[in-house]
Amino acid sequence: MLVTLIRRYSKPYFPYVAAVVVFQLASTIAALYLPSLNARIIDEGVSRGDTDYIWRTGGLMLGVALIQVATAIAGVYFGSKAAMAFGRDLRRGVFRKVSSFSARDVNVFGAPTLITRGTNDVQQVQMLMLMGLNFMVATPIMCIGGIFMALREDLNLSWLVWVSVPVLVAVVGYLVVRLMPLFRSMQVKIDRLNGVLREQIIGIRVVRAFVREPHEAERFGAANKELTDVSLKIGALFVLMFPAIGMILHVATAAVLWFGGQRVDAGDMQVGALTAFLQYLLQILMAVMMGTFMAMMIPRASVCADRIGEVLDVEPSIREPLTPVAPAQKAGRVEFRNVSFAYPGAEVPVLSDISFTAEPGQTVAIIGSTGAGKTSLLALLPRLYDTASGEVLLDGVPVSNLERGDITQRVAMVPQRPYLFSGTVEHNLRFGKPEAMDEELWEALTVAQAADFVREMNGGLASRIAQGGTNVSGGQRQRLCIARALVTEPKVFLFDDSFSALDVATDARLRRALKAKTADATVIIVGQRVSTIADADQILVLDKGRIVDRGTHEELLERSGTYQEIVESQLTAEAVA
């Protein structure tokens, strides 16, 4: 997966990658040249007192050093550019994919892990890419070139290279193998922590109201502790790693000086060659260390890449039709034909055998007890879910054969849980129709009985709305959502219990204004109050996912037992109140 991701998402940045390769090649060769020049200065210049030679070679050394620095900087610059762009594209890929998910697909993963995958996991892969680009070329060349140059300085000391490199690889490699499973479990713990935190922040009022802070703090504490424990285990291994590496480097240095010193004493080796050999050995060991670090990042990044891949590989369960049908007319006629529906994974159907028709200009109301399936029924029209059997038709065409845009353009839904986005009032109202004029917004607000309170808010249309719309009351939020639906001027209105938070007088005024505005549209209202739905052209009484009776208010009053019960219960409730 890691390879696939990198290949797919780094393609546009090949020119940068090519630049990185060229610059690093130059910088590494320059770095390998420097100790050798240094040795020449000591052995040929200093030892013979040849000032001229020292100046010449010193100047060359300075030049090479400058080239080395400049190319190294350029290499890192292009490497960072490529890696960051890669990360950005990958994040965008995850975001686009998640945006195409249906409600069901989101549930398969859960929101917290989708968030972690789109942020933290992408960052891990991006980090590998950055490290990879910065060391990919330099490390092997430094390693092989270093060995070659070291042997050129002195063949007899070569066994020091053959001993120290495997020891370093063995030690670092062992730690890396121990680290891999820990990194894997770390991503899971981050997910869990995100999940708990998210739930608690969203539910903060409930937590307060039930004085559950201690319990919730405990839950968070547990998740936090798990993450800490894993991080500590990782830390413990890292703590071992640096001293171990340091020790190997220092022992190698001491060995070079010890054995090399003996050879210098015996006159078999010059001092400059010895310093150069030492520098090459250190360069080799550094390169090996960097290579192993890289190797260490690969398992973690590949865990993350797999998790990202799982998201990217999802085929959205609700797909756009391959050959979309363009409806002959766009009047907004809604028809349910023998529709049954069950939530994914559930055995019992939530809706069975639902059939009804709503003509343009008509109002169809749905009433039924909590959990009867009213919200589920509405969700089928904008295709938030697909039916199990039967068909939902919009203007005579099954919604599964319509393009999404074609549906949303004609159907506007006011959800049961009204949701507003952070931003301003007008930003929310223009959600479905960005080009709407201010007058249109005010007209929608007037119909929705929201104009007064928006006018009273400090900024009018430009007033701030907090995330989720939490800075306006439930009833205000409902009315803003109604206005938002009105602005799009759809052919079909779906109101899911959208008047529940309004007082009876406002409810009545709103519906009167709405009636004029929606005269040609198809209106489907889910309502709890009999007064809200009494004047509908057709009322469907829903019970346990079945339509048990249908008719006008008067007809139902006469013959439907369930309906009479509902009416009576509300009358008594009002009498009690």
Contact residues toward Mg ion (CB under 5 A) are 374-375, 416
Alpha carbon 401 to chain centroid distance? 30
Looking only at the bridges linking them, the beta strands covering 464-465 and 397-398 are unpaired
From the list ligand CTP, Mg ion, none, which binds 458 (C-beta under 5 to 8 Å, kind-based)? Answer: none
Pick what 350 binds: Mg ion, ligand CTP, none; C-beta below 5 to 8 Å, kind-dependent. Answer: ligand CTP
User: What minimum distance in Å lies between the beta carbon of 384 and ligand CTP?
Assistant: 10
Contacts of 72 (CB under 8 A, 6+ apart): 23, 24, 27
Which residues share a beta bridge with 413?
494
Q: Which residues bind ligand CTP (CB under 6 A)?
A: 343, 346, 350, 368, 370-376, 416, 497
Spatial CB neighbours of 197, under 8 Å, sequence gap ≥ 6: 220
Residue among 77 and 343 whose Cβ is closer to ligand CTP: 343
* Residue 146 touches which member of Mg ion, ligand CTP, none, C-beta under 5-8 Å by kind: none
Least separation in angstroms between CB 373 and Mg ion: 8
Q: Which among Mg ion, ligand CTP, none contacts residue 415 (Cβ within 5 to 8 A by kind)?
A: none
Task: Give the tokens for residue 425.
Answer: 């009032």
Residue 145 contact among ligand CTP, Mg ion, none, beta carbon within 5 to 8 Å by kind: none
Considering beta carbons, is residue 429 or 530 the nearer one to ligand CTP? 530
| Residue 492 and residue 334 in contact, taking contact as beta carbons nearer than 8 Å | yes
CB of 572 to Mg ion, least distance (A): 23
CB of 108 to ligand CTP, least distance (A): 13
Q: Which residue is nearest to Mg ion (CB)?
A: 375
Query: What is the smallest separation between the CB atom of 366 and ligand CTP, expressed in angstroms?
Result: 8
Shortest Cβ 504–ligand CTP spacing (Å): 19
3-state helix, strand, coil in the chain (%, to 5): 65, 10, 25
Neighbours of 141 (CB within 10 A): 17
Pairing of strands 411-414, 492-496: parallel
Cβ proximity to Mg ion, 38 vs 416, nearer residue: 416
Find, among 349, 422, 339, 345, the residue nearest to 383 by Cα: 339
Distance CA 329, CA 332 (A): 8
Question: Least distance (Å) from ligand CTP to the CB of residue 343?
Answer: 4
Q: Report, in Å, the least distance between residue 298 CB and ligand CTP.
A: 40
Quick one: 31 or 547, whose CB is closer to ligand CTP?
547
Closer residue to ligand CTP in complex, CB, 118/415: 415
Closest approach of Cβ 332 to ligand CTP, in Å?
22
If the CB atoms of residues 71 and 498 are measured against ligand CTP, the closer one turns out to be 498
CA atoms of 477 and 493, how far apart (whole Å): 17
Q: Choose the contact partner of 40 out of ligand CTP, Mg ion, none; CB within 5 to 8 A by kind.
A: none
The span from the CA of 411 to the CA of 210, in Å, is 40
Select 200 or 570, whichever has its Cβ closest to Mg ion.
Answer: 570
87 binds, among Mg ion, ligand CTP, none (CB under 5 to 8 A by kind): none
Beta bridge partners of 335: 357, 393
Closest residue to ligand CTP using C-beta atoms: 375
Cβ proximity to ligand CTP: between 19 and 334 the closer is 334
- Among ligand CTP, Mg ion, none, the one that 293 touches (CB under a kind-dependent 5 to 8 A) is none
Cβ atoms 43, 267 nearer than 8 A: no
Judged by beta carbon, residue 190 or residue 367, the one nearer ligand CTP is 367
Q: How far apart are CA 198 and CA 304, in angstroms?
A: 21
Q: How far is CA 330 from CA 194, 394, 520, in A?
A: 45, 9, 12
Which among Mg ion, ligand CTP, none contacts residue 371 (Cβ within 5 to 8 A by kind)?
A: ligand CTP
Residue 346 touches which of Mg ion, ligand CTP, none (Cβ within 5-8 Å per kind)? ligand CTP
Indicate which of ligand CTP, Mg ion, none lies near residue 154 (CB less than 5 to 8 Å, by partner kind). Answer: none
Residue 474's binding partner out of ligand CTP, Mg ion, none, with CB under 5 to 8 Å set by partner kind: none
Q: For residue 247, how far is the Cα from the chain centroid? A: 42
Q: Which is nearer to ligand CTP, 211 or 348 (CB)?
A: 348
Phi first, then psi, for residue 152 (nearest 5°) are: -65, -35
What secondary structure letter does DSSP report for 396?
A: T
By three-state DSSP, how is residue 205 classified? helix
Residue carrying the six token digits 């039916």: 387
Do residues 521 and 361 make contact, with C-beta atoms less than 8 angstroms apart?
yes
- Which of 453, 449, 472, 469 is CA-nearest to residue 461? 453
3 state SS of 339:
strand
Q: Largest Cα–Cα distance of the chain, in whole Å?
A: 121
Residue 369 C-beta: closest distance to ligand CTP, Å: 7
Residue number with CB closer to Mg ion (352 or 376): 376
Minimum CB separation from ligand CTP for residue 313, in Å? 24
CB of 379 to ligand CTP, least distance (A): 8
Among Mg ion, ligand CTP, none, the one that 279 touches (CB under a kind-dependent 5 to 8 A) is none
CB of 417 to ligand CTP, least distance (A): 9
Q: Which is nearer to ligand CTP, 368 or 475 (CB)?
A: 368
Nearest 10 degrees: Cα torsion 35, 37, 40, 41: -100
Q: Directed axis angle between helix 14-40 and helix 122-135, to 10°?
A: 40
Of 452, 486, 450, 488, nearest in space to 469 by CA: 450
| CB-nearer residue toward ligand CTP: 352 or 375 | 375
CB atoms under 10 Å from CB of 4, counted, come to 12
Give yes or no for a contact between 525 and 536, defined as CB atoms under 8 angstroms apart. yes
CA dist 164 and 284 (Å) reads 10
